[in-house]
Each structure stands twice: as C-alpha cells, then as structure tokens.
Amino acid sequence: MKFSAKVFLSLLLLLVVRISSFAQGTTQPPTRVSCPEAAQYYSKDSINIVTFGASTVEGVKGLGFQTLLQNNFLNCYTNKIVDITNHGIGGQTTYQGLLRIDNAIANRTGFIVIDMGINDAIAIAAGKGSVAETVANMRVLITASLKQKLIPILCTLQFVDDRTIKGYVAVNTNIRNLNTAYKKLATEYKIYLADVNAAMRRDFSLYQDAFHPNARGYRLVSYVIFDTINKAIFDKFLKFTVTQNYPNPAAMQTFIDIVLPEADKINVQIYDLMGRLVKTVVNEYLNTGKHTLEINTSTFVPGIYFFKISSDSGQYNSAKKFIVAR
C-alpha cells in the first residue's frame, strides 16, 4: 500500500502526539491486570464497594480510580456484578466526612474504601485541628463502617508536591504522622490497609498537580486498592472447592487442590471400587486458603479409585473418581 507524502506526515504527526500524551500521563496503553487466585474461588455473586473521601476519591479533571478498579474486577471476576459507588467530595476534611458517612453506607454491603485526610493535613499546617483530632474522626468512620458490617479498606495518603511551595513541607510532615497513625488504626481494628503512599512515594511524574494523581497515578492507586480488596476476599470470602486430580489418569503421582474458607481438620482418603481404604493422604488441620496435596500412586494397581474429603466440622465434604494407569 502506498501513502502520499501528505498522508505519511499526518500519520507521523498523530503518532508523535500520542507518544507525547502518554509521556505526560494523559493517555494510557491498554493493560490487563494480573488476576489473583482469589478470583477463582470467590463465594459471592457480586462485589460491592463504597469509595469514601475527598477530591482524590471524587476524581479530578475527568480522572479517577473507580472505573479502573471496576475494570480490574470485571477482568478477573467473570460473571460477577461489580458495583462501585463514589462518595468523594473535594476539599472536605475527615470532620466533614463524619456528617455524611451514615448516608454513604446506609443499606450497603461489601467493602468501603476510606481515603481521606490530606485536607486535614493542610488545615493542621495552617494551625487548625490536630493529628489527634483527625485520628479520632477516622475512628468514627471506621467504627461506623464496621457497625454496618462493611469491610473497611483504609488508604494511606499520598504526599503533596512540596518542591516549589515550601509551605507544603509542613503538610507532608502531617501526612507522615497521619499515615503512621492510620497504620496503627488498621492494626488495632484488624482492618486492611491500602498503602497508596508506599506505591506513589515521591514520584511526582504520577501527579497532575501538587495534590492529585494523573492518569498513570490513578491507575497505580487502582492497583493498590484492587490488591488490598483481593487480600480481604482471600481471607473472608472463599468457597469450599476440591479440584479434579491432575494428571488424570495418574501414573506415579497426582495432585488435588483444596480451597478452605476456614481452618478445619481435613481428612483425605483414597478408596478402591470395592470400597476398601487404600491410602490416607492427610488427616490434620489445614488453614484458610488453597492447599495442593500430592498423592503417591506408584504402588496402586491400575484401575478406578475415589478420593473422599471430609472435615471434623462437617461443613466440607466432597468425593471424586479418578483413574490410575501405567
């Protein structure tokens, strides 16, 4: 195919513009998030998330993390409904957040992402309020969420760009202090911490202004929150699963995966077609999560067998047929 010089120059100009836009963080190449194992074993039909905070949550100049976060979940949690509700209002402090938290979480289930406190840090630097007051406000936000039986995801605060405005140095000192306090709150209440600050660091190429992420920055924020919610799903919302053994037919050995929603004493036994016990694979307590069990079949006579899984609690039971062949 031949191009005229005019068409060639137009295409070249378009390419230069797109490269320039990407370098400035206004355009992103299509990417697919790496999917966690939790997505395979999620026990619910939907993922419901309230995002609560100030301008970083609300979104700035058409940018935000909610759509990116939703796409991450839709990509990995196929056939699940994903509902993300944005309750961000720019310029608000945690005290102002107290006035609307009840409305934001009324009749909600699932998760709440709380990302709030930068405006508090600015106010503290101006002589209004204190770190202790902000922490007290955050306690109320957390306890209100827990009372509604939501799972809080508490975000650390990204730094502000203090390279040219020296007054922002004090703001960042307050942000450091608040982040230290937020980490202690996450430990105290046994909730999940999305460490946005650790991911953003002081990389101001991820910012569109002194305070807010640009497109690349918001994508990074979405990844941090996505990973944190997946940790909560892995801890709390797995479904009991027993895979078919692999390989099947088995020769010298085969494997099965067991996913447990809760710790329990698990008994895995192998029986032949006559119902005779051939082997006990495991009979012990296993923790929450995925366990891969190896079954040595080198001494088995070729034929058809069954493995049966049961638990002391009686909650978990399964049986599957498999073949041994040489």
Position 268 scores a pLDDT of 97
Q: Which residue has the higher pLDDT, 28 or 101?
A: 101
Question: Does the pLDDT of residue 245 top 50, yes or no?
Answer: yes
pLDDT at 194: 98
Binning pLDDT at 50, 70 and 90, where does residue 326 land?
confident
Phi, psi dihedral angles at 234 (to 5 degrees): -65, -35
CATH of domain 241-324: 2.60.40.1930
Q: Which residues pair with 113 in a beta bridge?
A: 51, 153
Residue 33: predicted pLDDT: 76
Q: Which residue has the tokens 């370098």?
A: 23
Indicate the SS3 state at residue 69. Answer: helix
Task: Name the phi and psi angles at 320, rounded to 5.
Answer: -145, 150
Q: What pLDDT, on the 0 to 100 scale, is given for residue 28?
A: 45
Q: For residue 189, how many C-alpha atoms fall within 13 Å in the half-sphere facing its CB? A: 24
Return the minimum-mean-pLDDT range out of 24-28, 155-159, 314-318. Answer: 24-28
Fold agreement (31-236, 241-324): no
Short-list 110, 234, 117, 126, CA closest to 183: 117
> pLDDT tens for residues 296-316?
999 999 999 999 999 999 999
- List of long-range contacts for 173-178, beta carbons under 8 Å, 24+ apart: 173/125, 174/120, 174/121, 174/124, 174/125, 174/131, 175/117, 175/118, 175/121, 177/131, 178/117, 178/120, 178/121, 178/131, 178/134, 178/135
Whether the predicted pLDDT of 137 surpasses 60: yes
pLDDT tens digits for 255-269?
A: 999 999 999 999 999
Domain boundaries, the chain: 31-236, 241-324
The letter for the amino acid at 322 is: F
- What local confidence, expressed as pLDDT, does residue 58 receive? 98
Could you give the CA distance from residue 28 to residue 213 in angstroms, rounded to a whole number? 14
The answer, yes or no, to whether residue 219 has pLDDT greater than 80, is yes
Question: What mean pLDDT is predicted for residues 174-180?
Answer: 98
Q: What are the beta bridge partners of residue 184?
A: none
Q: Which CATH number fits domain 31-236: 3.40.50.300, 3.40.50.1110, 3.90.1660.10, 3.30.450.20?
A: 3.40.50.1110
pTM, rounded to two decimals:
0.83
Task: Quote the mean pLDDT of the chain.
Answer: 91
Q: Which helix (H) or strand (E) holds 260?
A: strand 253-260
pLDDT for position 29: 44
d(CA 282, CA 284): 6
